Chains A and B, each alone.
Chain A
Amino acid sequence: MMFFISWQEALNVAIKHMAMKQFINFVKKEFAHVLRDKKTLLILFGMPVMQILIFGFALTNEVKNSKIIVMDQAKDLASQQIISKIAASRYFDIENTVMNTVQMDAEFRKGKIRMALVFPAGFNEALLHQGKAQIQVIADASDPNTANTLSNYVSAIVQDYQSSVDNRVTVPYRIVPVLRMLYNPQLKGAPNFVPGVMALVLMLVCVMMTAISIVKEKETGTMEVLLVSPFQPILVILSKAVPYLLLSLVNVASILLLSVYVLDLPINGSILLLFAESTLFIITCLSIGILISIKTNSQQLAMLISLMGMFLPTVLFSGFMFPIENMPYPLQLISNLVPAKWFYMIIKSIMIKGLGFAAIWKETLILAGFTVVLLAVSLKSFKIRLA
């Protein structure tokens, strides 16, 4: 009897060993596919770098180095001090000084100038004796957001100047709003988009590439050969998923490295938690990719569905480009169905706010729920296809 049991155990071990060997064999093959295709490699590793750089340096809500002109009719202490303060700020470059409104108009028409500051004659006088002086701020509002941001910057600088000369100016009543920007005191754009880029890149890599790589095997006929072989169908799917899981984790690491060392954005929370949550999201994406690959038969269709069905909602509804709070209620409801939204919230909490698992368990649970449902549906439909 003892002999019998151990014999059976040995057989089990042998079978497991064989399945494991087949599995490793398959994963190796999958890596060969990825590493030999330059286009795939480019998308895989070029895209995250590109996106980080584009979002980090080109697509930012911060307005830097805007060209402005100054019309200083006062030429007194106060006006000069304010002008030099503005010139020192990194938001503005004083392009020119003009003497009259005709010149000013002409500058605006050229289109390079975003804003003009006009100091009326006797500016310092008015400030000292009447306790009240005015600066006219004229902005090119053909781009309303920029105009708005710039005028806010100017007000802030002027406010700052005013408080520095406060001891000279006595004002009976003053309410000074004290603003504190939580988590992101410099109002950098980067904290917002790094988690967003992570969601986007993972979505693209995992969904699109997994879907394409499985559909490709259907197109070329190799899938049929695999299904006829004793290799377990479930292992076909698993071994497709494993390389992309690993490569995606490499991607997460490279995005984090870029954001820390290139964008100077520290990771405030636990890196381990960050990777754990990323793994969860990657699995969500992989199950979506597998589902798409089961339902489609051509690489083009798989790519189209991945882009339109996944990429677009991720950009629109994850909240990193368009604030969800501003959306109409029905759209807010829809945004809840986008897994990337939850991932974005989680990553933001860990990376920027430095919060722990206690703060994000709900979002994690929702994401895990998505994963389980998607995985179940895709595995079930894979079996149906075989019948």
Chain B
Amino acid sequence: MENVVIKTDKLTKRFGDFIAANEITFEVKKGEIFGFLGANGAGKTTAMRMLCGLSMPSSGTATIAGFNVYKQTEDIKRNIGYMSQKFSLYEDLTVLENIRFFGGIYGLSNRELKSKGEELVEQLGLQKEAKKLVQALPLGWKQKLSFSVAVLHQPKIVFLDEPTGGVDPVTRRQFWDLIYEASAKGITIFVTTHYMDEAEYCDRLSIMVDGKIEALDSPANLKKQFKAASMDDVFYQLARGAKRSD
């Protein structure tokens, strides 16, 4: 059981009469790339916020990296990374300053910050841009930088909320190379997406409809289960019945 880094049991979030997330139960193993799919308004963000310790569940239990979401949110925060769907670095700081700032927030020492910063810049091929303001970078590079910053402190799990929105297919592919690298190092990836080609890259997927998880398996098994040719078809079969939408 030590291999399980995310474990939820009937995790529920209510806002008044509205049940945003309804008895979600699943497990994610260490190093796994776990896709979290669902139409807009299906409850993905709410579920993710509970897992990150940003939002208190109404009922059910969840353990993230071995810590309880009710009581140990501080420990959870120290052990996860997060990349929001909005581009979330500071545009008016340079590449290196962003790395130092976010690394510093996670308590990295100056020496670590220096070595990791250089390492990261080299890895991303940003040597020339290291001292330029982030706003001068193309979107694809910003996203890659943003991901690298999110895993800088070597979290156990990294949560990616629609990380590749608005990015071209080539850059998306490169982005996923970064995700595979991180996963190979043992970082668990929890990713939400609307792109079905990306869904195919995941080890396992869950698909949320109206606050409930309606399907959960590997892409291949899901296609078999729903007798569908592609993940697109699987998603469409499930999401079409949804009553909620944005």
Q: Which residues of A contact B (CB under 8 A)?
A: 18, 21-22, 25-26, 29, 32-33, 36-37, 220-222, 224-231, 386-387
Contact = CB atoms under 8 A, between A and B. Distances in A.
A222 B91 CA distance: 10
Contacts, number: 72
Given A228-B52, A386-B54, A33 B80 contact: no
A21 to B, nearest CB: 7
Given A29-B97, A29-B101, A387-B56, A229 B90 contact: no
Interface string B88-106: 1111110001001110111
Contacts of B185: none
B116 to A, nearest CB: 15
B105 A33 contact: no
16 contacts: A25-B105, A29-B97, A32-B93, A37-B92, A220-B86, A220-B88, A221-B84, A222-B90, A224-B82, A224-B88, A225-B83, A225-B84, A225-B150, A228-B159, A229-B82, A230-B74
B155 to A, nearest CB: 10
A230 B54 contact: no
B132 interface: no
A36 B92 contact: yes
Given A21-B107, A37-B92, A221-B88, 12 more contacts: A18-B107, A22-B105, A32-B97, A36-B92, A221-B86, A222-B90, A224-B82, A225-B82, A228-B52, A228-B54, A228-B77, A229-B82
B87 interface: yes
Contacts of A32: 92-93, 97
Interface residues of B, number: 31
Contact of A230 (B56, B101, B107): B107
Contact of B92 (A22, A33, A227, A386): A33
Interface of B: 52-56, 74, 77-78, 80, 82-93, 97, 100-102, 104-107, 150, 159
B88 A22 contact: no
Nearest to B77: A230
A166 to B, nearest CB: 72
Given A36-B92, A222-B89, A231 B54 contact: no
Contact of A220 (B54, B77, B91, B107): B91
B104 A25 contact: yes
Top 3 A-B pairs ranked by shortest CB distance?
A: A221-B86, A25-B104, A228-B82
Given A26-B105, A226-B105, A229-B77, A221 B87 contact: yes
A227 B48 CA distance: 13
A83 B100 CA distance: 75
Nearest to A232: B74
Nearest to A221: B86
A387 B55 CA distance: 5
Contact of A25 (B80, B82, B101): B101
B204 to A, nearest CB: 23
Contacts of B86: 220-221, 224
Contacts of A231: 105
A33 B90 contact: yes
Contacts of A224: 54, 82, 84, 86, 88
Nearest to B55: A387
A33 B133 CA distance: 12
Nearest to B56: A387
A225 B102 contact: yes
Nearest to B90: A222
Nearest to B109: A21
A18 B105 CA distance: 9
B89 A230 contact: no
Contacts of A18: 107
A220 B87 contact: yes
Nearest to A17: B107
Most chain A beta carbons < 10 A, residue from B89, B101, B107? B107
A265 B93 CA distance: 42
B105 A227 contact: no
A229 B107 CA distance: 10
